[in-house]
Amino acid sequence: MAPLRDKNAVQAAGKGLLERIDAVMAEADWSGFVELADMLPQAGRTFLIGAGRSGLVARSFGMRLMHAGLPAFIPGETATPAAGAGDLLVAVSCTGTTGYTEYIARRARELGAKVIVITAEALSPLARDAHKVILVPARDGNIVVRAAVFEHAASLCLDAVFNILVDRLKLDPDSLRQRHANLE
């Protein structure tokens, strides 16, 4: 394979992804994200789950919740406490068919936690375990492109939720900075 030397091709591919992400965000369930923003400060603890790149989106949002001073945990990590009534699980999955994410969502629900699913598939097995489904409707025929668009759009939507929380909780930059990682 010959090396790609045409920066215009890469730039065009990037612009194409941005256009797809923008189109998906225009159709995203913003009301659902508002509901999530309302639920987060009320939850005893918030657990965030996803696999692969969707898992990275979930972890990234968990970090933002920690910056906001909200208790956020990743199932499977050694310092994660027990879940139960009054807690919230946010599961992120494009297809809603990832076995590990489905299992954690089902288990959280059995334990009394409220389950919120962020997905592109409203009728997926993961969505069936949810108390609330928030759609980020990525529909591209190419699964790799579809997943990339979903993950970027979901991440941006969750960053928007964080920005709303910062305003609602009246957090100033110093309080956010105090919780930012400093052992790096």
Catalytic residue annotation: 151
**Local structure of residue 41 (DSSP, 8 states):** G
> What residue type is 41 in one-letter code?
P
Question: Would you state the structure tokens that stand for residue 111, as one six-digit string?
Answer: 């334990």
What is the Cα–Cα distance from 91 to 126, expressed in whole angstroms?
8
Cα atoms in the Cβ-side hemisphere of radius 13 Å centred on 160: 16
What is the Cα–Cα distance from 24 to 63, expressed in whole angstroms?
24
Question: Would you state the structure tokens that stand for residue 127, as one six-digit string?
Answer: 């969505």
Displacement of CA 167 from its chain's centroid (Å) = 20
